[in-house]
Structure 1
Amino acid sequence: MNHIERANILVQALPYIQQYSGKTIVVKYGGNAMINEDLKQGVINDLILMKCVGINVVVVHGGGPDISSFLKKINKESTFINGLRYTDEETIDIVQMVLGGKVNKDLVKLIEGYGGKAIGLCGMDGSMIKAKKLSSEIDLGNVGEITKVNTEIIERTLADGYIPIIGSVALGEDGKVYNINADTCAAKIASALKAESLMLLTDVPGVMRDPKDPSTLISELRLHEIPKLHLENVIQGGMIPKIGCCMESVRMGVKKAHIIDGRVEHSLILELFSDEGIGTMIY
């Protein structure tokens, strides 16, 4: 790539930088982008770049593989029901330790190591996220649904120039600790902050008419178009709850929600700062 091509890339990004500067973007970080070291470095650099051009970046993370790894060390098998981890009393201690501790602080360390400023939090800090036991036909143990988000600690962290890194565990109204789905957590936080965008990093290119054919990617979706895609079984399986999170956040005031492929290096920057984008934008 020559100097002119590099300059053209920066020029193309300029209107998007101007558009997002001063706005809040919530990023749900998970999937392969959280496991693969090269992809992880790319995401971290994207987050720091976003912060450097004036975007208020909020990161929400899960930590499924690390939780499973720690459970294996204590000879406890991971159990999933309809894609959600069954979380008994022993498991919730591991969840709290991993999401509020190891994974959270590892991300802080990475961001600080690349010259950024980050503060590690979880939903329990400052009663940021309140929850109750998830209403479900099947008992999932200490899996919760969010009842309230207090944005004060997030907004203070942003105002002080830091990237808040938030683990998806919450304090129950009954005093218990609850495991929260990270996509849902990110959507609720984005809604409470009235964020400009919610970005879900996943392991698929986005919403595709044919799940086996990336060329059928749907780049843009309006809310009223989504029910038809459900009826046509275009949206199915693990995409259903992700679309649900995006729809809820947009209805609650988030301007746009993006489902993007975290396996693509610098996917956040490509989606935000290029004309083409790489995932599915819902608005």
Structure 2
Amino acid sequence: MVEQLDLERLRGRVVVIKFGGHAMVNQELKQTFAQDVVTLRRAGLLPVVVHGGGPQISAMLERLDLDVHFEAGLRVTTPEVMDVVRMVLTGRVQRELVGLINAHGPFAVGLSGEDAHTMTAVRRTAWVNGEPVDIGLVGEVVDVNPQTVRALLEQDRVPVVSPVARGADGQVYNINADLAAAALAVALDAEKLVMLTDVEGLYANWPHSTELVRRITADEIEKLLPELASGMLPKMDGCLRAVRAGVRSAHILDGRVPNATLRGMTSGEAPGTTVVPDQGSRPE
């Protein structure tokens, strides 16, 4: 399959992959994802992985009898929940993913947005029915310092990044992994942003239809954002931000399909939904 993909064109280019959804809890899919990442690296691409961990965080919170609560699609993060978020993301999910990739060679190195001030965040507020809602220690990335990630890429490593960031106030914040991946893709001048999720892509008229939107521009996404379901909203918002800021294309792919990451590197029509800049917004 590899020889059919558009890997030669992408040689030497950064590809940021957000790993999330069902693929994170299915052992076979985790294995094939790790293999895909190593295949991309050996083909000369520069993959950077940003992972989520929502199901694992929720499971640990339930074990500890702590509240699991969401507003506007974002986890309400008290200081107690933030301790669990850091522990699960950087101490469990990241370590497992690093281990799976490194089973194929000495490639993966784990870090979080806290490390070397890679990401700086400010506290964000959710809006529900036009009203502000306090969601605790949830952050918005306002600055990315990509030097550490670039240094790892230059050493032929695969950075595996947990979406946790510190603010200028010293507080640590929980960052939505979709938006963290988009911010990192922009800072690294990535060729592609790939987001793995639990659906085929963006549906044209959900929930009334499962007709898939194969290709959509940034302007078209912006018009759709107010109507999107909470789960799809941060993904499409991240894609919009990325292509508006210089990323060549963004892709929403079905992470339940084995080798979805490799399939997203096709030279023709990639599976899922492809987000592109508005016509004329990038120079040739």
Does the pair score TM above 0.5? Answer: yes
- Aligned twin of 1:262: 255
Contact kept in structure 1, 2:14 and 2:47, CA below 8 Å: yes
TM-score (norm 1): 0.90
Superposition deviation, residue 265 in structure 1: 0.8
Q: Does 1:127 align with 2:117?
A: yes
- Aligned twin of 2:4: 12
Q: Would you tell me which structure has more helix in proportion to its own residues?
A: 1
Identity %: 40
Q: Does 1:84 align with 2:77?
A: no
Distance 1:57 1:237, change over 3 A: same
Which one-letter code corresponds to 2:255 in the other structure? Answer: G
Give the Cα–Cα distance (whole angstroms) in 2 for the partners of residues 251 and 73 of structure 1.
Answer: 41
Which one-letter code corresponds to 1:167 in the other structure? Answer: S
Distance 1:38 1:213, change over 3 A: farther
Contact kept in structure 2, 1:205 and 1:214, CA below 8 Å: no
Distance 1:174 1:110, change over 3 A: same
Decide which of 189, 194, 197 is 2:192's aligned counterpart: 197
Contact kept in structure 2, 1:43 and 1:265, CA below 8 Å: yes
- Aligned twin of 2:86: 96
Q: Which runs of 4+ in 1 moved over 4 A?
A: 212-215, 227-231
Q: Does 1:278 align with 2:271?
A: yes
Distance 1:176 1:215, change over 3 A: closer
Give the Cα–Cα distance (whole angstroms) in 2 for the partners of residues 191 and 182 of structure 1.
Answer: 14
Decide which of 64, 67, 72 is 1:74's aligned counterpart: 64
Decide which of 141, 148, 153 is 1:153's aligned counterpart: 148
Superposition deviation, residue 216 in structure 1: 2.1
Superposition deviation, residue 222 in structure 1: 2.0
Superposition deviation, residue 228 in structure 1: 5.2
1:207 alignment partner, SS class: coil
State the number of aligned residues: 271
1:114 alignment partner, SS class: coil
TM-score (norm 2): 0.90
Superposition deviation, residue 224 in structure 1: 3.0
Q: Does 1:60 align with 2:50?
A: yes
Which one-letter code corresponds to 1:106 in the other structure? Answer: E
Q: Does 1:253 align with 2:256?
A: no
Give the Cα–Cα distance (whole angstroms) in 2 for the partners of residues 71 and 215 of structure 1.
Answer: 33
Q: Does 1:44 align with 2:55?
A: no
With 75-84 and 166-175 compared, the bigger mean Cα shift is at: 75-84
Give the Cα–Cα distance (whole angstroms) in 2 for the partners of residues 33 and 243 of structure 1.
Answer: 19
Superposition deviation, residue 11 in structure 1: 4.6
Superposition deviation, residue 213 in structure 1: 8.4
Give the Cα–Cα distance (whole angstroms) in 1 for the partners of residues 77 and 173 of structure 2.
Answer: 9
Contact kept in structure 2, 1:219 and 1:281, CA below 8 Å: yes
Superposition deviation, residue 72 in structure 1: 1.8
Superposition deviation, residue 183 in structure 1: 0.2
Superposition deviation, residue 121 in structure 1: 0.4
Superposition deviation, residue 10 in structure 1: 5.0
Contact kept in structure 2, 1:12 and 1:275, CA below 8 Å: no
